[in-house]
Chain A
Amino acid sequence: MKHSVARSLEKYDKAEFGFWLYLLTDIILFASLFATYMILRGNTASGESAAALFDPKYALLETVLLLTSSFTCGIAGLALRFKHKRMALGLLVTTLLLGLAFISLELNEFATLINEGQSWRTSAFLSGFFTLVGTHGLHIIIGLIWGAVMLAYIIKTGVTSDSLRKFTLFSLFWHFLDLVWIFIFTIVYLGASL
């Protein structure tokens, strides 16, 4: 018994560290996109600049939604560790709904911009913007699918060392996306009016 606990703990640590290394490579990906955006920010091809296109208030709403979902995801993991299954499931559903609200707002923003003729084909600045924010949005969509699968998995198998380990990885991913968003919020949306 003791032996198997030790082994599952080792498996847990290995999985967590391996996934952590993947997230670190994702940081490098986002760093390149941030650098690209910051360099191309002024190249608007005589079109609208960032200050005219982006609304910091809208972005603040997105920020609060994503931050809250990161928080509920963390507590869901905590509840799972203490075997409060129903609480964990409820919080996971909340996390996914908040994430869904976030991505809806973002897609709505993209659609509005494109309808106004401000697509990624308009200028280098907008190419940089759509690539950076779109890559983050794509990660969020993948996270939402992963979260939904986690939900089904936990309902089916209950709280086991396997579901706990899998959930920890999902939770790392979700927290990471919120960390990236802090910098998108600061550099893209708040920096727009500077």
Chain B
Amino acid sequence: MKESDFKPLLRKYLAGFMAALLLSVLSYTLISSDILPHAEGLVMAVLLLLAVVQLVIQLVCFLHLGIKNRSRNRTLTLAFTIAMMLVIVIGSLWIMKNLDYRMGMSSEAMNEYMMKQNKKGF
């Protein structure tokens, strides 16, 4: 590699670092101050969005992920793993929430719930 390539690559790392730092501090500020309305779901969604943006920035700037030839296989396998990860996380949360909901019912409520399900047909 040529010496003249050093600076542009360094700048890429620096840009990624500054962006990541900014996003982390922004997430923290959103929590510590009362800028956002008191809606837990909304705040968590915004925080997760910021985390995902930071993830993508770091993947591109630090791990040099892209769709061009040399990093293509890494990007594809990562995309597959992220799909599996989402199945595990969302699936687990869904199943356990549902189980929790059913276990929390009184026996009358459970009866009523079963009757309703029966009417729908299995």
Contact = CB atoms under 8 A, between A and B. Distances in A.
Contacts of B10: 75, 78
A191 B44 contact: yes
Contacts of A68: 17
B70 A13 contact: yes
Contacts of B73: 17
B24 interface: yes
A146 interface: no
B23 to A, nearest CB: 9
Nearest to B70: A13
Contacts of B5: 82
Report the interface size class on chain A. 35 or more
B78 A63 contact: no
Contacts of A27: 81-82, 85
Nearest to B85: A31
Contacts of A34: 89
23 contacts: A17-B73, A20-B74, A20-B77, A21-B77, A24-B81, A32-B88, A35-B89, A38-B89, A38-B93, A56-B31, A56-B32, A67-B17, A68-B17, A71-B16, A74-B13, A75-B10, A82-B5, A175-B63, A179-B59, A186-B27, A186-B48, A187-B48, A190-B28
Interface of A: 13, 16-17, 20-21, 24, 27-28, 31-32, 34-36, 38-39, 56-57, 60, 63-64, 67-68, 70-71, 74-75, 78, 81-82, 172, 175, 178-179, 182-183, 185-187, 190-191, 193-194
Interface of B: 1, 3, 5-6, 9-10, 13-14, 16-17, 20-21, 24-25, 27-28, 31-32, 40, 43-44, 47-48, 50-51, 54-55, 58-59, 62-63, 70, 73-74, 77-78, 81-82, 84-85, 88-89, 92-93, 96
